[in-house]
Structure 1
Amino acid sequence: MRTLLAAVLTATVAATALATPATAAPRQYTVTDLGTLGGLSTEVYDLNDKGVAVGRSLTADGELHAFSWKNGKLTDLPTLPGGHYAEAHGINENGTIAGTALNPAGEYRAVIWHRGRITDLGQGRSIGWDINDKGQVLVSRVDETGAQTSRLIWHNGTVTELGPENNTARTTGKINNEAKVLMIFDNTYLGFQQYGSTSGFGPIATPGSNYPNDINNSGIIAGYSTDELGRTRPVTYPLGPVELGTLGGPDGNATAVNDKGVFAGVAQTPDGTSRPVLWRNRQIIDLTTRGLTGNEMPVGINNRGQMIATIDFRAAFIG
């Protein structure tokens, strides 16, 4: 495992260099539709290094159920007894999945699935966002009035409170192995929170806004920032913001980053066409030259370079 400093320097050097065409022997990718649980749509949210993807899918009865997918097999995850809705948001390397399910009263509950069994985390009305390799689950809890949301980390029944969710500080639903929770502050600044301490990073320009999409285990953040011209620029933090570059067009978005410092996302060409891309080793790679059609938007990437993507109302595995 690289140190944080090494990871930051690697990502920063790669990001600050001008985007250039790739010269190494290109890796070609194949796109696999994840299928559905009998309905018309599937959404995918996370992917671990074993190639297991999780998300939610419509059943033939019109219910939304959580699923896991591996090697072409889509598995319907159980709902809470008496409930008819669930969605899986995150999966760790041990195969434990975090998400949300409805109880018989119709209340949202943060849950985990482990070895095919679902467990209510006992946090009342709540949403389970993500889980790291230590089994720490990021949860948002709604109070009895339904008006106030707070965030917390659940770990083997122990709860660490992180504070209220509001326009000043709110999570975007990601936690890494250092228990750093990806955050946005004052609707402008982004950063992370770790057991109460916070670190925020500013916009590229003022006025500007930022949105963080992903954080890796070294604390490297992928996201976007808007500048004074209204352009959406793909960026990385924390030594930044540093622009990752586009395919010559005005806009882009870094949607995911793995522990090797490889970013996935979308970038525009000069004519405004958005294409799926990777940013790796000082290069921007147009994935339409590597087997993708251009309709796929990567939303996750693992350390093997495999990706998950959304295509309209369907989900795909890219490997």
Structure 2
Amino acid sequence: MRRLLTALLTAPLAATLATGTPATPAAATARQYTVTDLGTLGGLSTEVYDLNDKGVAVGRSLTADGELHAFSWKKGRITDLGTLPGGHYAEAHGINEDGVIAGTALNAAGEYRAVIWRHGRITDLGQGRSIGWDVNDHGQVLVSRVDQTGAQSSRLIWQNGTVTELGPENTYATTVGKINNEAKVLMLFRDQPGGQPYLGYQQYGSTSGFGPIGGTGTNYPNDIANTGIIAAYSTDDQGHTRPATYPLGPVDLGTLGGPNGNATAVNDNGVFAGLADAADGTSRPVLWKNRQIIDLTTRGLTVDEMPVGINNRGQMIAAVNYRAAFIS
């Protein structure tokens, strides 16, 4: 997760949220980006999930032996983070500014365990069958316990061996795996079994939920900044999937003239990354910044790159056809 800024919103984003005015296309006379393939651990595929302000990216990658291992990447070098003793699987989901990495690994008994990597060493958090989702700059790790089928059963925050229980994972509430520096945990809620899910967050014992743009559809949260701003998508009254931000709103961030979009990431400066349809029907990687939408295919990216994270320096990570990229 990224550092907490003192202001809740930057002035340009605050103006956007206050007026509800969609972003307008930006002139293509600014920063050009370089796309760097992260490589693999010897196999054919890599998935990237998070990065910090130091430009360290984490995720999972296939090894030459066909195992999925957690990795970290920095300045062109990919590193296998290793697994628990006797285990053959690990993935890294989140990294904080101190370089602590949260994730999940199999132990020798074949059970999923929430783990952290710190200074190159892996530690089982001692929560039984569990998934390690994310870690904030205070060292708070978001964990879901899972049952024998792999279904999430409860969620908690682990910090230096102390556990804070957050409640059961069930039809009515489940985490989507993100925690910020205020200990706000991104959630999906339902008011009744079979009801439409809607996004929100939990902060210890309190919860807040937010409806879709259209009022009767659905929405889904992708990321939360340390300021509390949420990047999401939401359906509108026409059934289109729109890029959206919460909790002030919902605000439709706008597209490149097409019907659909998705805000997949947000940083503490109020800059969003994601995808937006153009008028010709293509889905393109974009930024939403200062009430403008930037088509990143005019800045060095292709339609194959899908941004999934952005740090406070404006560096991004992206999924690219079973591979992963660092964008700077």
Offset from partner CA, 1:229-263 (integer Å, 9 cap, x none): 22000000111100000000000000000000000
Match 2:80 to one of 49, 70, 76: 76
Distance 2:220 2:89 in 1: 29
Q: Are residues 1:122 and 2:126 paired? A: yes
Match 2:234 to one of 225, 228, 232: 225
Q: Are residues 1:192 and 2:194 paired? A: no
Alignment match, 1:56: 60
Q: Which amino acid aligns with 1:310?
A: A
Alignment match, 2:116: 112
Q: Are residues 1:171 and 2:175 paired? A: yes
C-alpha change, 1:281 and 1:257, in structure 2 (3 Å) is same
C-alpha change, 1:309 and 1:165, in structure 2 (3 Å) is same
Once the two structures are superposed, the pairs formed by residues 15-164 of structure 1 within 5 Å of their partners are 16-23=20-27, 25-143=29-147, 149-164=153-168
Query: Which stretch of the first structure deviates more once superposed, 174-183 or 224-233?
Result: 224-233
Instruction: Report the CA distance between 1:312 and its aligned residue.
Output: 1.2
Q: Are residues 1:11 and 2:25 paired? A: no
Distance 1:139 1:264 in 2: 26
Cα RMSD (Å) of the superposition? 1.5
The SS at the match of 2:13 is: helix
The SS at the match of 2:259 is: coil
Query: Which stretch of the first structure deviates more once superposed, 204-213 or 49-58?
Result: 204-213
Alignment match, 2:327: 318
Offset from partner CA, 1:137-165 (integer Å, 9 cap, x none): 00000246866610000000000000111
Question: Could you state the TM-score of these two structures normalised by the residue count of structure 1?
Answer: 0.96
Contact 1:188 1:209 (C-alpha < 8 Å) held by counterparts: yes
Distance 2:327 2:162 in 1: 37
Instruction: Report the CA distance between 1:203 and its aligned residue.
Output: 1.2
Distance 2:42 2:36 in 1: 17
Match 2:247 to one of 212, 215, 238: 238
Give the unaligned 5+ runs of structure 2: 191-195
Distance 2:46 2:148 in 1: 32
How many residues in Structure 1 have an aligned counterpart in Structure 2? 317
Distance 2:207 2:115 in 1: 26
Instruction: Report the CA distance between 1:78 and its aligned residue.
Output: 1.5
Alignment match, 1:249: 258
